[in-house]
Amino acid sequence: MTTPNTNLSSTPSQSEFIQSTLIATASGHKIAHLTLNNPKLLNAQNLEMVRTMRVLFDAWAADDDVVMVLLTGSGERAFCAGGDIKSLHAHGIDEQDLASADKDGLLAEKIQLAKEFFIHEYGTMYAMHTYPKPIVAWGNGVVMGGGLGLLAASSHKVVTNSTLMAMPEVSIGLFPDAGGSYFLNHMLGKVGLFLGLTGARFTGADALHLGLADAFCAHDDFDALLATLCQADWQATKNDAHALVSKVLQQYHRAYPPSQVLSALDEINRLMNAGDLLAVDSALQNYTGDDAWIKAAIDSYRQGSATTKALTWRIFHALRTTKKGVALSEIFKMEECVATQCVVRGDFKEGVRALLIDKDKNPKWRYTLQNLPDEYLAQFFENGW
C-alpha cells in the first residue's frame, strides 16, 4: 500500500506512532491520511497514539479545506490489533495485594493511570462516531478489539480479502469494549453476544453480512481508490461528502463470499437462548454439533475468563432491557468504568501474563461462573448498570 507521490503536504504528526499527511485533491481540497504506525505490535494503540489521534481529528474537523479522513494501519499485516495491553498490564494489581494497595493509596493511583488511557481511547472513538466529515477506515489484515472499535466508529468501513476480525477480550480478562457493547448489540439475533462471549474470529465477508462493513475491496485496490478520491469533485458535493465517498467505494466494491457466521445463525441463537448464563455455559460446554467454526469458538470460550463472560452477559442484556436506547456517550462512560476495573482489580493482569508475558497460555482465573460473587461483579459498574 503506497500513497501517490504528487500533491502531498505533511502535518506535524506529534508522535512516532502516528503518521499524518494532507493530500491535495484535484478540486483544491485536502484528504487527511492518518496511519497507525506501530507495526511491531500490529498497530496496537498506546496512550500517546490515542491522544495524538484526537488532536488530529479535532484539527481536521475545524479545517474547511479537509473534506475527509482516511485511516489506515502501517504494514501489510494489520489495521489495528486493539490496545497495547502489555503497557496496560503494569497498572494491574494482584488479588493478594489489593488490600494493602488500597491502604497505601496505590489502588487509586493505578485506577487513575488505567482510566487515562480509556478516557482518551473512548473519547476519540466517540468523536469519530459523531464526526462531521467522512472517515474511511481501510480494515486490511488484523482488525481486533480496539481496532474493530476504530473501524466501527468510522463512517465508511472497508474490509479486504485478508481481513481477520474478533473481539477476543475474553482471553485476557477484559471485555468487548471500544464501543463493542454498542455494535455487538446491534447485530442480528444473538450473534453479537456469541462473538463477545467466545472471542470467535470472523472474516471481512462476515463483517459485510453482519452490517459491520460497507465495502469489500481487494488489498491491491488501495492506491486506485485513493487516486479516485483525489480526483473527485469535492467542490460540487461538499455539502454531501458522505454520499461522494459512498459512490466512490461502490466502484471498488467486489463480490464477497458467503458468511460462515450467518450459516451458523440458527445454532448460535439456540445456544445463546438456552437460559441464563449458567445454562448457556452448559450448552456451549456440551455442544455436540459438527460446525467447525462454532467448535473453534467454543474452544476459545473454554479458555476465557469467567469474569469477562459475566460482564459481557450483563452488559448485553442490560442494553436490550433496562438500558435499551441509552445514548452512545453513556455506553462509553460505562465502558470506561468497567474497563478500568478490569485492568486494576479484575482478571486482566493474569490474562496478559499468560498470553504475552510468560506465554504459558495457562491463566489462573480468579473465579469460575459457578462461584463468581455478585458483589464482586457489582464493583465493575456504577450508576445502576
Residue 222's CB: how many other CB atoms inside 10 A? 20
Q: Where are the domains of the chain?
A: 8-378
* Whole-model pTM over 0.85: yes
Instruction: Specify whether the CB–CB gap between 259 and 200 falls below 8 A.
Output: no
Residue 6 pLDDT = 36
Cβ partners under 8 Å of residue 134, min gap 6: 67, 68, 69, 155, 156, 241, 242, 244, 245
The per-residue DSSP string of 111-127 comes to HHHHHHHHHHHHHHHHH
Task: Tell me how crowded residue 165 is: count the other CB atoms within 10 A of its CB.
Answer: 26
How far apart are the C-alpha atoms of 225 and 33, rounded to whole Å?
A: 13
Residues 198 and 168: their CA atoms lie apart, in Å, by: 7
Nearest to 340 by CA among 105, 101, 98, 107: 107
Cα separation, 166 vs 187, in Å, equals: 14
What gap in Å lies between CA 21 and CA 9, rounded to an integer?
6
Strands 135-139 and 66-73 come out as parallel
Cα–Cα distance, 11 to 5 (Å, whole number): 16
Are 84 and 45 within 8 A, CB to CB? yes
Q: Are 178 and 146 in contact (CB under 8 A)?
A: yes
Cite the beta strand spans of the chain per DSSP E. Answer: 8-10, 18-24, 30-36, 66-73, 78-80, 135-139, 142-144, 156-160, 164-166, 202-203, 215-217
Please give the pLDDT value at position 25.
Answer: 97
pLDDT of residue 9: 47
* Per-residue model confidence (pLDDT) at position 148: 99
CATH code for residues 8-378: 3.90.226.10
Give me the tens of pLDDT residue by residue for the chain, a chain 385 residues long.
Answer: 544 333 444 444 457 999 999 999 999 999 999 999 999 999 999 999 999 999 999 999 999 999 999 999 999 999 999 999 988 887 766 665 655 656 567 777 777 888 899 999 999 999 999 999 999 999 999 999 999 999 999 999 999 999 999 999 999 999 999 999 999 999 999 999 999 999 999 999 999 999 999 999 999 999 999 999 999 999 877 679 999 999 999 999 999 999 999 999 999 999 999 999 999 999 999 999 999 999 999 999 999 999 999 999 999 999 999 999 999 999 999 999 999 999 988 899 999 999 999 999 999 999 999 999 999 999 999 766 6
**Residue 267: its H or E element:** helix 265-272
